Amino acid sequence: MPKTQPGIVEVRRMAFLMINGSGDPNGGEFVKATEALYSLSYAVGSFDDEPESFARMEAFCIEHGYIRASKIHREIYLSDPRKTGPTKLKTVLRFPVISADARTCI
């Protein structure tokens, strides 16, 4: 059963194997090039409820010291609305965030 309360996921450093390449994915240069934080939500229900879901996601981020990096967001529809009832539609919602301390970097 999916969680009903949000949480923060920490991604740990990983061992890696490199074949015919260069660079360390745990190194500073690679991290700087690929680093991104996102607020992500798996929503079940009407697509019309998405603004409320985004508002809850943003409130959670603020409570934990993050702010939206921009108003750009993604909605990834996992259900076909032609075949699924409105209460069972599944969507992944996401937007980029930054540390509230880094707001001057926007």
For 46-94, write each residue's pLDDT tens digit: 999 999 999 999 999 999 999 998 889 999 999 999 999 999 999 999 9
Q: How far apart are CA 66 and CA 96, in angstroms?
A: 10
Q: What whole-number distance in Å separates Cα of residue 86 and Cα of residue 38?
A: 26
- Whether the CB-CB separation of 79 and 43 falls below 8 Å is answered with no
Nearest of 45, 43, 42 to residue 85 by alpha carbon? 45
* Total-model pTM: 0.70
Q: Which residue ranges make up each domain of the chain?
A: 38-105
